[in-house]
């Protein structure tokens, strides 16, 4: 079985992509855990899949159609009720542009 150890730099890169701030001890633990899982996953390379199409969909093929109509009434207040921060009918966020 090949060794699919990933580097600390890769862990940090993926964390940036995933929008996750990691503590230094989390980075080390994830490096070990992901390396172990990816080494296990390497067993897939024992199989020749060059002529095998990937599964794109399970269940029934085809997409059911319906009329393009609004089904849900506007409900700003219930949707804003869970907002961590709001102002009037808006979600409040940190300033994005100067």
Partner 1 sequence: MSGELFRLTIAEARDRLVRREISAQELTRACLDRIAELERRLNAFITVCPREALEQAAAADARLARGDAPALCGIPLAIKDIYLTRGIRTTCASKILGNFVAPYDATVIARLREAGAVFVGKANMDEFAMGSSSENSAFGPTRNPYDLTRVAGGSSGGSAAAVAAEECLAALGTDTGGSIREPASFCGVVGLKPTYSRVSRFGVIAFASSLDQVGPFTKTVRDAAIMLRELAGSDPQDSTCSARPVPDYERALTGDIEGLRIGVPREYFVSGMNPEVEESVRTALRQFESLGAKLVEISLPHTDYAIATYYIVATAEASANLARYDGIRYGLRVDADNNIELYNRTRARGFGAEVKRRIMLGTFALSSGYYDAYYLKAQQVRTLIRRDFEAAFARCDLIATPVAPTTAFRLGEKTADPMQMYLSDIFTISVNLAGLPGLSLPCGYDGAGLPIGLQIIGAPFGEEAMLRAADAYENSGACERRTPPLRSAA
Residue ranges that bind partner 1, judged by CB under 8 A: 6, 10-11, 13-15, 17-23, 26, 30, 33-34, 36-38, 40-45, 47, 49, 52-60, 63-64, 66, 71-72, 75, 78-79, 81-85, 91, 93-96
- Output 52 or 87, the one with its CB closest to partner 1: 52
Q: How far is CA 32 from the centre of its chain?
A: 20
Which stretches within the chain are classed as H helix? 8-17, 24-41, 76-80
Q: CA 1, CA 95: separation in Å to the nearest integer?
A: 50
- Tell me the closest approach of the beta carbon of residue 60 to partner 1, in angstroms: 5
Q: How far is CA 12 from the centre of its chain?
A: 16
- Tell me the closest approach of the beta carbon of residue 45 to partner 1, in angstroms: 7
């Amino acid at each position: 079985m090949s060794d699919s150890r990933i580097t600390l730099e890769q862990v940090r890169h993926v964390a940036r992509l995933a929008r996750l701030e990691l503590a230094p001890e989390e980075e080390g633990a994830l490096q070990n855990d992901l390396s172990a899982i990816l080494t296990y996953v390497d067993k897939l390379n024992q199989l020749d899949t060059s002529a095998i199409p990937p599964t794109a969909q399970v269940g029934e093929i085809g997409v059911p159609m319906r009329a393009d109509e609004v089904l849900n009434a506007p409900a700003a207040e219930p949707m804003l009720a869970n907002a961590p921060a709001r102002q009037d009918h808006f979600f409040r966020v940190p300033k994005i542009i100067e």
